[in-house]
Amino acid sequence: MSPTDRRADPHALEPPDARTAVNLAWLVRLRWAAIAGQTSTVVAARFALDVPLPLVPVLSLIAVEAATNVGCAGWAARRPQVQERHLAAIIGVDLVIFTGLLYFTGGPTNPFSSLYLIHLALAAVAVGPRFTWALVALTLTCSAALFLDHVPLAMGEHDHAAMGHYGMHLKGMWVALGVAAACIVYFLGRLQRELVEREEELRRQRERGERHERLAGLAALAAGAAHELATPLATIAVVAKELERGVAADDGGRWADDARLIRREVDRCSGILTELSVEAGLARAEPPEPIRVRELLAGVVRDTGDDPRVQVAVDASLGAAEVRTQARLLSRALRSVLDNALDASPEDRPVHLEATTRGGRLVVRIRDHGPGMAPEVRARALDPFFTTKPPGQGMGLGLFLAASIADQLGGALDLGTAPGAGTTVTLEVPA
C-alpha cells in the first residue's frame, strides 16, 4: 500500500488488532442496546398493545443473548488478540438469535424483520469482505427459513397479515425503519469518531517516538564527545597542576592564582562531561524520589548562575511539602527553559519562576518579558537545532530537551507566546 493509499484508508493508520479491539468494544455496547430494545419491545407489545406473544421462548432467547454478551464483555476486558473471525462469529450468533425471535413472533410478517440490515451494516464495518458475504448468506438463509416455518401471531379473530391489521403492520415497519436508520447512523458516526481519535493518538505517539529517538541520538553524541574530550582535559589538568607547583615554588603570586583557576575550570569541564556521558542512562533509570519544591527550584536557579533577575514564587499550598519525581531530569528541563528565558529578557526586567500543584501534578511556569515569538517561530520552537539566536550563542536544543524530558516523565510542556508579550513556558509533570 502506498502512502497515498494509507492516507485515504483510516484503517491503515492503526494495526489490525487495535481496529478489531475497538470494534469488539462497540459491538458489546450495541448488543446491550439491542437487548434493552428487544426486551422493551416485547413488554410493550404484550402488555400495552395486548399482542399474544409466547413470552417464555422469546425471553429465553433474549436471556441467551444477554449471557453471551456478558461473556464477550468479560473477554474484551482481558484485552485479547481479537480477530475478524471472532467478530463475525458474534454477529452470526446474533443473526441466529434474532431469527429465533422472529420465528416466535410472526416470521416474515413481523415488521421488525427488516432489522436484519443492522447486522449486515455492522458486519460491513467490523469485518472484511469474506466474512461479510458469509454473513449475508447466513442472513438470507435464516430469512428464507422463516417463510417455510414460523409461529403466526394471533391478532384477535384475524391473522396478523390480514387487512384488518394492515395499518398496525405498516406502523411497525415505520418504527423498524426508524430503529434501523438510527442504529446504523449512530454506530457508523461513533465508530468514525473513534477511529479519528485513535489516528490522532497514533500521530502523537509517532511524534513522541521520533522526539525520543532524536534525544537518544543527542545523548549518544554527547557521550562520544565526552569520551573524546576526556583525554585532552586530563592532560591540561596535569600540566596546570605542575604549572601551579612550579609557579608557587618561584613565588609567582598572581600567576599561581591563574594556574589554580585553570585547574578549577578544567575540573568543572570534566564534571560536565562526566554528567553528559552518564546522565542519560542514570536519569532514565533512577526511580522517583521525594524532593522539596523550594529546594528543586533553588538548585535550578543556582545552576543557572544565581541571576538576580529570577523571582521564585512557590504556591502556599506546597509549603514545605515534598513531591516525588525524577529530580535530575526535571531539573535539567527547567534549567534549559530558564536559560532561554534569561537570554530573552532585558537586563532590567525579571524572569518569574512559579510552582504550584493541579490535580496531583506539579506545575512549573517560567515567564519572561522578552519580545515573544511570531507564529512561524512558535510553530518550530520545539524542533531540535532550531534557534533564532546569533551564531555561536545557542544550538536550539533547550526547548526540545525540555519537551522531551516532559514526555519521559509522563507530563507535557505548553508554550504560550505572542510578539511583544513575552513567553510563558508551563511544565506539568506527575508528582
Give the tens place of pLDDT for each residue, 405-425.
888 788 888 888 888 888 999
pLDDT reported for residue 203: 80
Report for 35-49, 89-103, 193-207: range of highest mean pLDDT: 89-103
Q: Judge residue 244's burial from the number of C-beta atoms within 10 Å of its C-beta, 0-12 exposed, 13-18 middle, 19 or more buried.
A: buried
DSSP class of residue 316? Answer: T
State the average pLDDT over residues 381-385: 76
Judge contact between 343 and 399, C-beta under 8 A.
Answer: no
Judge contact between 429 and 325, C-beta under 8 A.
Answer: yes
pLDDT reported for residue 339: 86
State the average pLDDT over residues 6-22: 51
Number of H helices, E strands in the chain: 12, 9
Residue 276: pLDDT above 80?
no
Judge contact between 409 and 429, C-beta under 8 A.
Answer: yes
Q: Reduced to 3 states, what is the DSSP secondary structure of residue 356?
A: strand
Residue 282: pLDDT above 70?
no
36 pLDDT band (50/70/90 cuts)?
very high
Angle at 135 between CA 12 and CA 181, to 5 degrees: 80
DSSP class of residue 288? Answer: P
Cα–Cα distance, 237 to 264 (Å, whole number): 9
Judge contact between 106 and 153, C-beta under 8 A.
Answer: yes
Residues of the chain with pLDDT > 90: what percent? 12
Furthest-apart CA pair in the chain: how many Å? 130
Residue 322: pLDDT above 70?
yes
User: What is the tens place of the pLDDT at every residue in 108-122?
Assistant: 888 788 788 888 888
How far lies 129's CA from each of 11, 89, 134, 389, in Å?
14, 14, 8, 57
Mark residue 9 as left, alpha or beta (left: phi above 0; alpha: psi -120 to 50; beta: remaining). beta
Residue 177: pLDDT above 60?
no
Long-range contacts of 117-122 (CB under 8 A, 24+ apart): 117/180, 117/184, 118/179, 118/180, 118/183, 118/184, 119/91, 119/94, 119/95, 121/183, 121/184, 121/187, 121/188, 122/27, 122/30, 122/91, 122/187
pLDDT reported for residue 169: 54
Cα–Cα distance, 54 to 109 (Å, whole number): 16
CA atoms within 13 A on the CB side of 417: 27
pLDDT reported for residue 271: 65
Judge contact between 369 and 363, C-beta under 8 A.
Answer: no
Q: How many CB atoms lie within 10 A of CB 121?
A: 16
Q: How many CB atoms lie within 10 A of CB 287?
A: 6
DSSP E strand boundaries for 59-209: 154-155, 158-159
Of the listed ranges 12-16, 95-99, 225-229, the least confidently predicted one is 12-16
Judge contact between 157 and 165, C-beta under 8 A.
Answer: no
pTM of the predicted model over 0.75: no
For 346, list phi and psi in degrees, rounded to 5: -65, 160
264 pLDDT band (50/70/90 cuts)?
confident
End-to-end CA distance of the chain: 44
pLDDT reported for residue 162: 44
pLDDT reported for residue 345: 87
Residue 89: pLDDT above 90?
yes
Residue 277: pLDDT above 60?
no
Closest CA to 395 of 329, 334, 343: 343
Closest CA to 152 of 54, 50, 39, 63: 54
H or E stretch covering 283 = helix 254-285
What average pLDDT does the chain have?
77
CATH, domain range 289-430: 3.30.565.10
The residue to which cell 533547550 is assigned = 398
Cα–Cα distance, 226 to 235 (Å, whole number): 14
Residue 159: pLDDT above 50?
no
DSSP-H helix ranges across 286-315:
293-303
pLDDT reported for residue 27: 87
Residues of the chain with pLDDT > 70: what percent? 73
pLDDT reported for residue 68: 94
Cα–Cα distance, 236 to 415 (Å, whole number): 42
C-alpha radius of gyration, the chain, whole number = 35
Cα–Cα distance, 368 to 340 (Å, whole number): 9
Report for 223-232, 326-335, 350-359: range of highest mean pLDDT: 350-359
Residue 185: pLDDT above 90?
no
Length of the chain: 431
Domain ranges of the chain: 3-161, 211-285, 289-430
Residue 35: pLDDT above 80?
yes
Residue 283: pLDDT above 60?
no
